[in-house]
Amino acid sequence: MGQLETAVKNRDRGVHHAWLFTGPPGSGRSNLAVAFAGALLCSDGGCGTCKNCRMVTTGTHPDVTVLSTERVQISIDEVRELVTNSYLGSSVGKYRILIIEDADRMTDRTSNVLLKALEEPPINTIWMLCAPSEADLLPTIRSRVRRVALKVPSVEAVAQLLVERNGIEPKLAAQVAAEAQSHIGMALRLATSTEARSRRRETLLSALNLRGVSSAMFAADQWLSIAKKDADALTVLRDSEERTQLLATMGLKEGETIPPALRSSFKQLEEAQKRRATRSLRDGLDRILVDLLSLYRDVLTIQLSAGVPLVNDDLRSGIQDVADGSTQAQTLEKLERIALARKRIDSNVQNLLTLEALAVSLRASE
Ligand SMILES: [Zn+2]
């Protein structure tokens, strides 16, 4: 992290105006961007306790704006607003800092709005973009940012974090850290929700038991419903909390008729929640596919006698059977099919059809 430390040390003499933090989801890239912002605004270079530091970490610092999205895509209006914001200058500190959490979720048109701001940066404005990889951004944007690449934390490091920070029992922590492939948020969810854990297990068991075409259709259907349940578990509670909160803001009670003048606010909330549900389902499907990737990587590990630990060690005997009953080439082909399904689901091809096609290609060879 040398260049960040250097930037913080020399912050009084100016800071480069655009940064890109890359790393897979769960690697802590947006946390790092926020910490960097705090360090640049703190007179001690990030003491963690002063007013500036506290405001930055709680998201209330007037000079730091974070754009995070629950949607599949960041809208062009959101970016326009942020760009307008960037010309306001800072109010309490030296810098005005704008953080875009999922900079990969912008269309080219939206990216070009941002590009204008990066080309002619207002003085003392700092942009911090976060994305899975550099390749997720337009080359014109890439050429203007300083890059900070985060490494995926090791399985051991994630397990240790769960033990120390969340009081998770060490054996369970090690298991979920491996299963979540070092995604910190996912590991914590698996550790604290038996339902999430059993949904993951069901997904993998049905893949291990794929035989004929009809069992493939059945599995695809099951995966879709597991993804829905997983998405619901994450959104339903939040949806109702938000509604209750909105009712309270307007002085209404649950079940009371909403006056016509206030209806549009509820409509807006419902629409935002619907958009979030769409993304949530897509994220759920992607998690399933990532889990399936880990399963067939385990199969390949056994076929190659690679001697590295399995991600899904508790399913070892089923994995062994699939490894014995197929060739390395077939497993590689399956891994490619899963990667293809991830791309298709990302580009909105019908979910069930994509899963069915995948399940058919994952069947044990006859
Ligand atoms: Zn401080």
DSSP sequence for 105-128: G--HHHHHHHHHHHHSPPTTEEEE
Q: How far is the CA of 103 from the centre of ligand 1 (A)?
A: 27
Q: How far is the CA of 322 from the centre of ligand 1 (A)?
A: 55
DSSP state of 279: H
Find where tokens 């298991």 sit.
175
Per-residue pLDDT of 31-65, as tens digits, reads 889 989 999 999 999 888 899 998 998 888 999 99
Q: How far apart are CA 20 and CA 291, in angstroms?
A: 28
Q: How far apart are CA 187 and CA 176, in angstroms?
A: 5
pLDDT for the residue numbered 1: 52
User: From first to last of its 366 residues, what are the pLDDT tens digits of the chain?
Assistant: 588 889 999 999 999 999 999 887 667 788 889 989 999 999 999 888 899 998 998 888 999 999 987 777 889 999 999 999 898 888 888 999 999 998 988 888 999 999 999 998 888 999 999 998 888 888 889 999 999 988 777 889 889 989 998 899 999 999 999 998 888 878 888 999 999 999 999 999 999 999 888 889 999 999 999 998 888 887 777 788 778 878 877 788 877 888 888 888 888 888 878 877 777 888 889 889 999 999 999 999 999 988 888 999 999 999 999 999 999 999 999 999 999 998 888 777 688 888 999 999 998 765
Q: How far is the CA of 280 from the centre of ligand 1 (A)?
A: 35
Q: How far is the CA of 53 from the centre of ligand 1 (A)?
A: 4
Q: How far is the CA of 127 from the centre of ligand 1 (A)?
A: 20
The mean pLDDT value of the chain amounts to 88
Q: How far is the CA of 126 from the centre of ligand 1 (A)?
A: 18
Q: How far is the CA of 52 from the centre of ligand 1 (A)?
A: 6
- The pocket of ion ligand 1, defined by CB under 5 A, consists of 42, 47, 50, 53
Q: How far is the CA of 88 from the centre of ligand 1 (A)?
A: 23
pLDDT for the residue numbered 79: 94
pLDDT for the residue numbered 97: 96
Q: Among candidates 28, 27, 7, 31, which has minimal Cα distance to 17?
A: 7
Q: How far is the CA of 3 from the centre of ligand 1 (A)?
A: 20
Per-residue pLDDT of 252-281, as tens digits, reads 887 788 888 888 888 888 887 887 777 788
pLDDT for the residue numbered 16: 94
Q: How far is the CA of 55 from the centre of ligand 1 (A)?
A: 9
Beta-carbon contacts of residue 96 (< 8 Å; ≥ 6 apart): 63, 85, 86, 88, 89, 90, 122, 124, 125, 126
Q: How far is the CA of 34 from the centre of ligand 1 (A)?
A: 13
* Entry pTM: 0.65
pLDDT for the residue numbered 132: 83
Q: How far is the CA of 47 from the centre of ligand 1 (A)?
A: 4
pLDDT for the residue numbered 28: 76
pLDDT for the residue numbered 121: 86
Contact between 21 and 132 (Cβ < 8 Å) = no
Q: How far is the CA of 45 from the centre of ligand 1 (A)?
A: 6
Q: How far is the CA of 57 from the centre of ligand 1 (A)?
A: 10
Q: How far is the CA of 96 from the centre of ligand 1 (A)?
A: 16
- Based on the number of CB atoms within 10 Å of its own CB, is 152 exposed (0-12), middle (13-18) or buried (19 or more)? middle
Q: How far is the CA of 44 from the centre of ligand 1 (A)?
A: 6
Q: How far is the CA of 359 from the centre of ligand 1 (A)?
A: 53
Q: How far is the CA of 35 from the centre of ligand 1 (A)?
A: 10
Q: Where are the alpha helices (DSSP H) in 180-262?
A: 184-192, 194-208, 213-249
DSSP state of 255: T
Rg (CA), the chain: 23
Find where tokens 């995948």 sit.
358
Per-residue pLDDT of 223-235, as tens digits, reads 999 998 888 887 7
Paired strand residues for 23: none
pLDDT for the residue numbered 26: 67
Q: How far is the CA of 41 from the centre of ligand 1 (A)?
A: 8
pLDDT for the residue numbered 281: 85
Q: How far is the CA of 67 from the centre of ligand 1 (A)?
A: 23
The CA distances from residue 352 to 125, 217, 262, 341, 344, in Å, are 45, 9, 38, 11, 11
Token digits of residue 107 = 């269309």
Instruction: Tell me the backbone φ, ψ of residue 110, rounded to 5 degrees.
Output: -65, -40
Q: How far apart are CA 122 and CA 353, in angstroms?
A: 48
